[in-house]
Amino acid sequence: MNELTINLRTESKTPLYEQIYAYIKEDIRNGRIPCKEKLPSTRALAKHLEVSRSTVELAYEQLLSEGYIEAEPYKGYYAAQIEDLYHLQKTKAQVQTVEQPREKYRYDFTPNGVDLKSFPYNVWRKLSKEILVDDKTELFRSGDSKGEYGFRRAICSYLYQARGVECDPGQIIIGAGSDYLLMLLCALLGTHHRIAFEDPTYMQAYRLFSCLSYELIPVGMDKNGMKVSELAQTDADIAYVTPSHQYPTGIVMPIRRRLELLRWADECDGRYIIEDDYDSEFRYKGKPIPSLQGYDAHDKVIYLGTFSKSIAPAIRLSYMVLPAPLMEQYEQKTRFISSTVSKVDQMIVQRFIEEGYFERHLNKTRALYRSRHDVLIEELKPLSSVLKISGEHAGVHLLLTFRNGSTEAELIEQAGREGIRVYGMSDYRIRKDREKEATILLGYANLTENQIKNAVRILRDCWI
Amino acid sequence: MNELTINLRTESKTPLYEQIYAYIKEDIRNGRIPCKEKLPSTRALAKHLEVSRSTVELAYEQLLSEGYIEAEPYKGYYAAQIEDLYHLQKTKAQVQTVEQPREKYRYDFTPNGVDLKSFPYNVWRKLSKEILVDDKTELFRSGDSKGEYGFRRAICSYLYQARGVECDPGQIIIGAGSDYLLMLLCALLGTHHRIAFEDPTYMQAYRLFSCLSYELIPVGMDKNGMKVSELAQTDADIAYVTPSHQYPTGIVMPIRRRLELLRWADECDGRYIIEDDYDSEFRYKGKPIPSLQGYDAHDKVIYLGTFSKSIAPAIRLSYMVLPAPLMEQYEQKTRFISSTVSKVDQMIVQRFIEEGYFERHLNKTRALYRSRHDVLIEELKPLSSVLKISGEHAGVHLLLTFRNGSTEAELIEQAGREGIRVYGMSDYRIRKDREKEATILLGYANLTENQIKNAVRILRDCWI
């Protein structure tokens, strides 16, 4: 082949070399230039197209880089052998994105709500601005995979004061959400474990471990939380628990059961307890219940906490406290895994804690949720003949157990017809067949006192 | 027991009920109040301590909540049975935090560098401020687990234009770094896979899959990248490759090898190719090499990209494009896993892309790295008798293969003695015994032209 007629568009934005490259590439792909065919020399093609030789050279270099042509020393350029290899016809499946239309409810008693109106926007903006104000290249350099030391120190001191957690900043790992930290924990522990879960439980964690191929064992609960006697009869070596405020029942595990659980962990090497302390900041009667980790004398408790509930879900900040032996393993085995939280976010929250904003924010939201909690309880009183309230005085939801023969599905459906979304306990049960009574969860963090009053009045009408 | 003598400090900040609670709790824990012992009534204790009855009631309620005392109806309060259960003596291991003292080098040729001086601080600050300026509660509500749609749309259009990636925003998942996205991919794919790696390779990904218990198979490379003939003889079902700029060799996989690789994937159901397109924004000769994903006609390529190299390591933003069938699995199986990136960060980068800042920033850094690349090549010329340069014209590092009998360890040590850090190819090899020649990596993104000149002059002296 000595000539290639290419219609060059000199007025085009696309550089000439790119036009030449694209033309030859297309001709090789569709077979118009057969494989092994010799291409014109750069000099000849340049002359033919009336462009500079370097333009053609650039086009040939790109074709060479991508492998469409091959250079043979002292001979010239040849089309590479590709046309018979594979059909590039697109037969790709169309993406069916599942964008479920959200059902509209007038009132949504979600148990996972957070009052975002009380989010301290001004403080957040101020801190964010102050942190970004200096051209600190350090802010954008890769950071410590455990999280920045100063931030871990701030969390450490908060956890000691507020939750009775005893640790060193060196034992803390920051991560973008509890889901991520559980995934990291799995990478650390390996998959050969059997994990016991309270039933009902926090299904997000249950599903995550299930995705990661763990064997999961549901363990029943009594009024004191997970039955350790039942746990001891399984071959579980890890127990995932929410002792300070069981999710979703709200049960507080009393000291005696805690000690039984710790003793279970201590009976065999390699047994661990994962304490998910997801929302114990919110307690409306007396002091917060201290963490289980604080009682752990033998390095058996892996402690998890989050700022999703206490600050905002979308800031993606959680932390994990590893017992010393696991932290040593982490340093050797998984420390190479990069942090998932930007330094800017870490520094904002560090200052948010250190400058007292976090405590003030907690006090504010605690007072807010307490009022909503009190209004909800008050409004539910006329229903006391048909239902029993439990899980109150803490967290951001409570439970209604019905004694009038209604089923959970009926209750949800009756409320739904009036535009009110309520949640059924069966969503939280691992063994669905164990359902005995109809239990409904009502979350109140997302609704104002007036909204709660209106909604419960409607519920009263449709439930009696 | 009818009396409890408690020294109340009325001037203390600690509320009186907390003092009473703490005193009784301590006495129960250390056995001074034996188990089953009856406590004074709230009325009696209030009178004895000269405090209000509600103060004592609050203390008792807290002790009840935590399980230190038990209430017997019509009888009163009793110390719970805990003292014989478990010794709370701390025997915890001390945390040995491995804070390795960083060796100080005058010049560090890290291949993972990024020029942070050119980071667009002002734009970043401006965008961050503008996004935070409205009290938008939406910003802090939990977002789409795949990432915000608008941000995915911006990435989608960037990837099509810059990398020839063909996808729909619905196929993109945003994550806080490539490590995280690979962990998420593992949760999606399950652990029963055998993953083939180019050898040498990006060890971060290799180690991650190894931590997650995958069977990993090193596959040799020739000048065109991973040998597909060798791959076909293994029982791998997933191939992890860096076709546009092999890490660390810099090899561009030509079109023919790409098609062979795609054909390998198409030969069996369930085979996939992970294309890690970590730094192909940086190419200093001609156009960028298009992605492998763009040639994939049969939904075989999982595409990974990141803003760590192109913007900054600490912003923690990567993306993954799943082929349609895997995206369907994701929707069913792992969509419940929360996003790891804050909405604020997503919106900053979305606007950074959409308002043209990203393109300008890429052009700026590309020009900067190109100059550094050219200076480095120029300065290395006097060494051409002892070494061969490869992997140039792209990325942010190049390779020096020595032909003078020096070993890699010697070369690193010689440079280190002069305060210069260089990196050996053996760090990137899976099979360490395959090392034939001494190959050194020099990254130049982190060093100014003058630093490069000075450092290479020293290297010339110590290496010849």
CB nearest to A179's CB, from B119, B327, B338: B338
A168/B95 CB distance under 8 A: yes
Minimal Cβ distance to A96: which of B58, B129, B328: B328
CB contacts of B343 in chain A (<8 Å) are 314
Q: Which two tokens stand for residue B30?
A: 């250390």
Question: In chain B, which residue's Cα lies nearest the Cα of A289?
Answer: B66
**Closest to A174 measured CA to CA, from A156, A195, A191:** A156
Residues of chain B contacting residue A179, judged by C-beta atoms under 8 Å apart = 337-338, 340
B175 neighbourhood in chain A, CB within 8 Å = 340
B-chain residue closest to A266, CA distance: B86
| CA A389 – CA A302 distance, rounded (Å) | 32
CB contact at 8 A, B343 and B140: yes
Number of residues that make up chain A? 464
> pLDDT by residue for chain B (464 residues), tens digit each?
556 778 888 888 888 999 999 899 888 888 888 888 899 999 999 998 889 999 999 999 889 888 889 998 888 999 988 755 555 555 566 665 555 556 689 999 999 888 988 888 889 999 998 998 875 778 888 889 999 999 999 999 999 988 999 999 999 999 999 999 999 999 999 989 999 999 999 999 999 999 998 999 999 999 999 999 999 999 999 999 999 999 999 999 999 999 999 999 999 999 999 999 998 889 998 888 899 999 998 999 999 999 988 888 888 999 999 999 999 999 999 999 999 999 999 999 999 999 999 999 999 999 999 999 999 999 999 999 999 999 999 999 999 999 888 999 999 999 999 999 999 999 999 998 776 789 999 999 999 999 999 999 999 999 98
Task: Write down the mean pLDDT value for chain A.
Answer: 90
A353 CA to centre of own chain: 22
* H-run or E-run covering A22: helix A16-29
In chain A, which residues have their Cβ closer than 8 Å to the Cβ of B325?
A: 93
Span A349-369, average pLDDT: 94
pLDDT at A96: 55
Q: Give the pairing of strands B397-402 and B387-390.
A: antiparallel
Binning pLDDT at 50, 70 and 90, where does residue A272 land?
very high
Residue B93 confidence (pLDDT): 61
Supply the pLDDT for residue A182.
Answer: 97
Interface contact flag, B119 A97, Cβ < 8 Å: no
pLDDT greater than 60 at residue A376 = yes
- CA of A188 vs chain B CAs: smallest distance (Å): 7
Beta bridge partners of A20: none
pLDDT value, residue A84: 56
Measured N-to-C along each axis, helices A178-189 and B203-211 cross at an angle, to the nearest 10 degrees, of 80
Q: How many Cβ atoms are within 10 Å of B101's Cβ, its own excluded? A: 5
Give the nearest partner residue to A82 out of B183, B255, B334, using CB atoms. B255
SS3 category, A441? strand
CB-CB under 8 Å, B95 with A171: yes
Question: What pairing do the DSSP bridges indicate for beta strands A221-222 and A225-226?
Answer: antiparallel
Q: Is the pLDDT of residue A9 over 90?
A: no
Instruction: Find the residue in A nearest to B180 (Cα).
Output: A340
DSSP letter (8 states) at residue B199: S
Question: Residue A281, SS3?
Answer: coil
Nearest residue of B to residue A324, measured between CA atoms: B95
Question: Would you place residue A3 in the very low, low, confident or very high pLDDT band (cuts 50, 70, 90)?
Answer: low
CA contacts within 13 A on the Cβ side of B142? 17
Which residue of chain A is at minimal alpha-carbon distance from B29?
A: A255
Residues of A in contact with B308 (CB under 8 A): 142
Beta carbons of B119 and A137 less than 8 Å apart: yes
B188 contacts on A by Cβ (under 8 Å): 211
Nearest CA in chain A to B297: A90
Whole-number pLDDT of residue B436: 75
**Inter-chain residue contact B289 with A65, CB threshold 8 Å:** yes
Residue of B20, B33, B63, B66 to mutate, interface with A, max A Cβ within 10 Å: B66
Which residues make Cβ contacts (< 8 Å) with residue A249, sequence separation at least 6? A200, A221, A390, A391, A399
Query: Distance, in angstroms, between B463 CA and closest chain A CA?
Result: 31
Q: What are the pLDDT digits (tens) for A228-239?
A: 999 999 999 999
The secondary structure of residue A394, as a DSSP letter, is B
Q: Between chains, do B128 and A124 touch, taking CB under 8 Å as contact?
A: no
pLDDT, residue A83, reads 55
Cα separation of A405 and A436, whole Å? 11
pTM for this entry: 0.90
Strands B420-421 and B107-108: parallel
Mean pLDDT in residue range A314-342: 94
Q: Rounded to an integer, what distance in angstroms lies between the CA atom of residue B45 and that of residue B74?
A: 17
* Subunit contact B125:A129, Cβ cutoff 8 A: yes
Mean of the pLDDT values across residues A136-141?
A: 80
Q: What is the pLDDT of residue B320?
A: 98
Nearest residue in B to A168, CA atom? B95
A121-132 and A343-354 helices, crossing angle to 10°: 120
Cis peptide before B254 (omega within 30 of 0): no
User: Which pLDDT score, from 0 to 100, does residue A66 have?
Assistant: 87
Q: State how far the alpha carbon of B335 is from the alpha carbons of A98, B105, B270, in Å.
A: 10, 45, 20
Of A135, A186, A340, the CB nearest to B177: A340
Predicted confidence (pLDDT) per residue in A89-130, tens digit: 555 666 655 555 566 899 999 998 889 888 888 899 999 989
Q: Test A252 with B67 for CB contact under 8 angstroms.
A: yes
Contact call for residues B319 and B289 (beta carbons, < 8 A)? no
B464: closest CA of chain A, how far (Å): 32
Cα atoms in the 13 Å half-sphere on the side-chain side of B218? 16
Looking from the CA of B432 toward its CB, the CA atoms found within 13 Å total 4
Contacts of A128 (CB under 8 A, 6+ apart): A344, A348, B128, B129, B132
Q: Shortest CA distance to A156 belongs to which of A178, A172, A136?
A: A172
- Using a 10 angstrom Cβ sphere, with 0-12 exposed, 13-18 middle and 19 or more buried, the burial of residue A43 is exposed
Read off the pLDDT band of A139 (50, 70, 90). Answer: confident
Considering CB atoms only, which of A96, A176, A290 is closest to B341?
Answer: A176
pLDDT of residue A32: 82
Residue of A nearest to B262 (CA): A86
Interface contacts A/B by beta carbons within 8 Å? 295
Contact residues on chain A for B133, CB-CB shorter than 8 A: 125
Chain A nearest-CA residue for B341: A316
**Which among A338, A339, A427 is the top mutation candidate for probing chain B, defined by the most B β-carbons within 10 Å of its own β-carbon?**
A338
Cross-chain residue pair A141–B312, CB shorter than 8 Å: yes
CB atoms closer than 10 angstroms to residue B317? 26
**Cβ–Cβ of A340/B224 closer than 8 Å?**
no
Give the gap in angstroms from C-alpha A42 to the nearest C-alpha of chain B: 16
Q: Which of A30, A172, A183, A311 to mutate to test the interface with B (most CBs of B within 10 A)?
A: A183
Residue of chain A whose alpha carbon sits nearest to that of B260: A85
Choose from B18, B24, B26, B121 for mutation: most chain A CBs within 10 A: B121
Region of poorest pLDDT, from A41-50, A259-268, A275-284, B100-109:
B100-109
**Chain B: residue nearest A85 by CA?**
B259
pLDDT at A427: 93
- Residue that has been written with the tokens 């915890």 in this structure: B92
Q: Rounded to an integer, what distance in angstroms lies between the CA atom of residue B242 and that of residue B276? A: 5
Which residues in chain A are closer than 8 Å to B184, comparing Cβ atoms?
183
Name residues whose C-beta falls within 8 Å of residue A241's C-beta, 6 or more positions apart in sequence: A198, A225, A226, A253, A261, A273, A274, A275, A276, A292
Cα B89–B91–B94 angle (5° rounding)? 140
Minimum distance, in Å, between the CA of residue B87 and any CA atom of chain A:
8
Which residue, among A20, A66, A335, would best test binding to B if mutated, counting the most B CBs under 10 Å from its CB? Answer: A66
Query: Contacts of residue A180 in chain B, CB cutoff 8 Å?
Result: 176, 180, 183, 340
Question: Phi first, then psi: what are they for B378, rounded to 5°?
Answer: -60, -45
